[in-house]
Amino acid sequence: MQRRQFLRHAGTTLALASTGALTACAQIPSARSGNPDMPVARLGSGIPELAPVKARPDRITGVYVCTRPFRAAGPRIEMEQLGNRAVVHNYGHGGSGWSLSWGSSTLAVRMAQATGVRELGVIGCGALGLTSALLAQRAGLSVRIYAKDLPPNVYSMRASGLWTPDSRICDADHAPALAARWEAMTRTSFAQYQSMLGLPGNPIEWIEGYHLSDTPPDQQSVEPSDEPEYGELYDHVRDLTPRSVALPAGSTPFPQAYVRCYTTLMFNISTYARMLMSDFLAAGGKIEVREFHQPNDLQQLPEHTLINATGYGARALFGDNSIIPVRGQTARLIPQPEVRYGLSTAHLSMVPRSDGLLVQVLGDTGNFNNADTTPNRAVSEAAVNDLAALVASMRKV
- For the chain, give every domain's residue range: 3-29+41-69+206-267+325-392, 74-159+270-323
Give the whole-angstrom CA distance, residue 211 versus residue 49: 16
Question: Average pLDDT of 243-254?
Answer: 93
pLDDT at 309 over 50: yes
Which residue in 341, 237, 218 sits closest to 14, CA to CA?
237
Give the whole-angstrom CA distance, residue 63 versus residue 385: 15
DSSP state of 50: P
Average pLDDT, the chain: 89
Give the whole-angstrom CA distance, residue 224 versus residue 326: 11
- Per cent of the chain over pLDDT 90 is 83
Strand order in the sheet with 204-213: 60-71, 323-333, 356-361, 348-353, 341-344, 204-213, 258-267, 245-247
Of residues 30 and 173, which shows the higher confidence score?
173
Residues 6+ apart with CB under 8 A from 63: 329, 330, 331, 332, 375, 376, 377, 380
Q: What is the dihedral of CA 151, 155, 156, 158, to 10 degrees?
A: 100
Confidence of residue 371 (pLDDT cuts 50, 70, 90): very high
* Amino acid 218: pLDDT: 76
State which CATH number among 3.40.190.10, 3.40.50.720, 3.40.50.2000, 3.40.50.300 fits the domain covering 74-159+270-323: 3.40.50.720
The single-letter code of the amino acid at 203 is: P
Task: Report the DSSP beta bridge partners of residue 329.
Answer: 65
Contact 13, 209 (CB under 8 A): no
Confidence of residue 5 (pLDDT cuts 50, 70, 90): very low
The single-letter code of the amino acid at 305 is: T
Give the whole-angstrom CA distance, residue 382 versus residue 63: 12
